[in-house]
C-alpha cells in the first residue's frame, strides 16, 4: 500500500523529537493475517532508563470524506492493538495526524466521543516544520 502523503514529515518529526525509527513499515502478524503499520520507533528515557516503544499509523485525512477515513483509521487502529495484544508485544499505538487535520476535524463532538470510546492515542504533527506538537493519550 502507498505511503500517506504526510508519512515522511511524520517520520522526520519523530526523529527530531528524539525517537529512533526501527521499522518503516513495521510488519505485524495477526494470526493468519500479515499487517503493516506505517512506523515503529523507540526512545530511551534518560531519567528513567526505560525504553519506550511505539507503532504509528499515519493518516493525512485529505480527501472527500473525513468521517469515512476516520472510520477506516479506527478499524486499523483496533486491529493493530488486537495484534499487539495477541503477540504479547509491548508497543503503544498512536495515530499520527497533521495539526491542520486535528484542528479542522478532531475537535468535533462525535470524533472526540469516538476517540474516547476507542481509547485512541494521537500524535499531532506540524507538517511544514516536521515537528511533534502534541502526544495525546
Is the residue at 126 inside a domain?
Answer: yes
Is the residue at 104 inside a domain?
Answer: yes
CATH number at residue 72: 3.40.1350.10
Residue 84: predicted pLDDT? 98
Is the residue at 118 inside a domain?
Answer: yes
pLDDT at 1 over 70: no
Is the residue at 53 inside a domain?
Answer: no
Q: What would the pLDDT profile of 98-124 be if each residue is shown by its tens digit?
A: 999 999 999 999 999 999 999 999 999
Is the residue at 106 inside a domain?
Answer: yes
Q: Which contacts qualify for 108-115: CB closer than 8 Å, 24 or more apart?
A: 111/70, 114/70, 114/74
Q: Give the mean model confidence (pLDDT) for residues 6-25.
A: 98
Q: What percent of the chain has pLDDT over 70?
A: 99
Is the residue at 86 inside a domain?
Answer: yes
Domain coverage including residue 102: 60-136
Q: Three-state SS across the chain?
A: CCCCCCHHHHHHHHHHCCCEEEECCEEEEECCEEEEECEEEEEECCCCCCEEEEEEEECCCCCCCHHHHHHHHHHHHHHHHHHHHHHCCCCEEEEEEEHHHHHHHCCCHHHHHHHHHCCCCEEEEECCCCEEEEEEC
Count of domains in the chain?
Answer: 1
Amino acid at each position: 500500500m502507498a505511503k500517506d502523503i504526510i508519512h515522511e514529515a511524520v517520520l522526520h518529526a519523530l526523529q527530531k523529537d528524539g525517537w529512533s525509527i526501527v521499522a518503516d513499515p513495521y510488519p505485524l502478524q495477526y494470526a493468519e493475517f500479515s499487517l503493516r503499520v506505517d512506523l515503529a520507533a523507540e526512545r530511551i528515557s534518560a531519567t528513567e532508563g526505560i525504553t519506550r516503544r511505539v507503532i504509528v499509523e499515519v493518516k493525512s485525512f485529505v480527501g472527500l470524506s473525513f468521517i469515512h477515513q476516520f472510520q477506516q483509521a479506527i478499524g486499523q487502529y483496533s486491529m493493530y492493538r488486537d495484534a499487539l495484544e495477541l503477540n504479547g508485544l509491548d508497543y503503544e499505538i498512536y495515530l499520527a495526524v497533521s495539526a491542520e487535520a486535528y484542528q479542522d476535524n478532531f475537535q468535533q463532538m462525535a470524533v472526540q466521543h469516538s476517540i474516547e470510546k476507542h481509547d485512541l492515542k494521537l500524535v499531532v504533527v506540524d507538517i511544514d516544520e516536521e515537528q511533534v506538537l502534541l502526544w495525546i493519550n
